[in-house]
Structure 1
């Protein structure tokens, strides 16, 4: 039962992210049902109109899905780029800290040398 709840929660999340896709799917299904009803009643003009509506609705759905996929790809690319920038900034920070540490070590060695009067140690 929990897997169904998680599945439905995932569907709801996707519907909230891309609300036009389910609307297009529903419109396509309604148009297909309308065309089927008109075909059974023998009304060819109305049947053709419903089929055209189905094509338009289906085209809209495909276009929205493609644009949604492109948007998700752009978001992932931006997140990946942001992650690379963060890693580069962290690496630069670590390098700066390493240089500071080396400088402090050099100062400590020099101070120790001066305190002990040892001119040979480096």
Structure 2
């Protein structure tokens, strides 16, 4: 069995009202066609009315399953948090940067990591009250 057929079978098991509705709609259409060919107006009318009813119920089943599946996806995305993403402890990072800066100033440190350099620059700018995101060199509170 191919993957596509397997997927269709799984879907039919998860959403059984849709294939049942399609079969009922086709059966009603065949009954209406039989009534037309036999010139039985009652059978053809009942078949067409049944087709409309079954078609409407099938569409309602499609909408129901669609809403149910979209709610399940929303619930998963709101409650699920990726396992490989951890919260960042910014205070700890600033302390580590300050410690690395002290080690380097005392000469005990080895070559500096670029990430630690950026964190150290961030900590310095934060102490000065400057914004590291602005282009001005005097700081955010300076007047020009």
1:80 CA drift (Å): 1.2
Which is helix-richer, 1 or 2? 1
Deviations for 1:6-38, whole angstroms, at most 9, x for unmatched residues?
A: 111010011011000000000000000010001
Q: Matched residue of 1:64: which SS?
A: helix
- Off by >4 Å, runs of 4+ in structure 1: none
Q: What is the match of residue 59 of structure 1?
A: 56
Residue 84 of structure 2 corresponds to residue 95 of structure 1: no
Deviations for 1:87-122, whole angstroms, at most 9, x for unmatched residues?
A: 49x533x539x749x58x97xx9xxxxxxxxxxxxx
Mind listing any 5+ residue stretches in structure 2 that lack a counterpart? Answer: 103-144
- Residue from 2, 10, 14 that aligns with 1:13: 10
**Which one scores higher on RCO, CA 8 angstroms, separation ≥ 6?**
1
Report the TM-score, using the length of structure 2 for normalisation.
Answer: 0.59
Q: Distance in 2 between matches of 1:6 and 1:87?
A: 28
Residue 70 of structure 2 corresponds to residue 76 of structure 1: no
Report the TM-score, using the length of structure 1 for normalisation.
Answer: 0.69
Mind listing any 5+ residue stretches in structure 1 that lack a counterpart? Answer: 110-122
Q: Distance in 2 between matches of 1:23 and 1:59?
A: 13
Q: Distance in 2 between matches of 1:44 and 1:74?
A: 45
